[in-house]
Chains A and B, each alone.
Chain A
Amino acid sequence: RKEVEQDPGPFNVPEGATVAFNCTYSNSASQSFFWYRQDCRKEPKLLMSVYSSGNEDGRFTAQLNRASQYISLLIRDSKLSDSATYLCVVTSGVMDTGRRALTFGSGTRLQVQP
């Protein structure tokens, strides 16, 4: 089983639509969770961190369910510029400092259409 799993998509949605991505992780000791966005042939860029209480940044809402080991990202009112690959990222490895690093899911591709 992969450590971080995502639906690869692609998700093809019209402008203005609401779209949700899900991600599951296998390591119950994972501590930190993030969503990154990656445009074609570019580097990953941090979209938002994910907290147990959930967090919102404009049109983007992230949720974490530790009991189910599940992370979600909701995008409201999709824009053409939201077209990208969205990467779910969790910490992995053992618990002592320096032995943890980010592990990426395979990414979910979003294509917003006019």
Chain B
Amino acid sequence: DTEVTQTPKHLVMGMTNKKSLKCEQHMGHRAMYWYKQKAKKPPELMFVYSYEKLSINESVPSRFSPECPNSSLLNLHLHALQPEDSALYLCASSQGGADTEAFFGQGTRLTVV
């Protein structure tokens, strides 16, 4: 069983809605990530937080806004999304720097209508 917990598991939202995805880990990991995965494609990195600071933003549109309230929590705030943003959003964490193995949550399957 994964020790990275994501909520909600499924989310349907309209293009004018504001919603948030949540991720929590209690493994003491200091790096946390958001990935986006479309069907039949590999996960694509969106953001990396290292020691609670944003260290990588892979040119993600501003309608996606990450937040790391503390070392155990990672949020992804969503606003004014487009239908093409529909995907599986995966949270992951890793122990040391961003070069150690990462453990993934079960993901949030997002549909934008």
Contact partner of B41 (CB less than 8 A), chosen from A42, A43, A106, is A106
- A61-114 CB contacts (< 8 Å) to partner B: 87, 91, 93, 97-107
B107 engages A43 (CB within 8 Å): yes
Query: A38 vs B8: C-alpha distance in the bound complex, in angstroms?
Result: 20
Within 67-96 of B, Cβ neighbours of A (below 8 Å) are at: 88, 90, 92
CB distance B53 to A98 under 8 Å? yes
How many residues of chain B are within 8 Å of chain A by beta carbon?
Answer: 29
A: number of interface residues (CB 8 Å): 24
A97 to B97, CA, bound (A): 6
CB distance from B110 to the nearest CB of A (A): 13
In the complex the two chains form, is B48's CB within 8 Å of A98's CB?
yes
> Is B100 touching A32 in the complex (CB atoms < 8 A)?
yes
Does B98 lie within 8 Å of A42, measured CB to CB? no
**Partner-B contacts on A (CB < 8 A):** 31-32, 34, 41-46, 49, 87, 91, 93, 97-107
A-B residue pairs, 4 tightest by C-beta: A98-B50, A98-B55, A104-B42, A43-B104
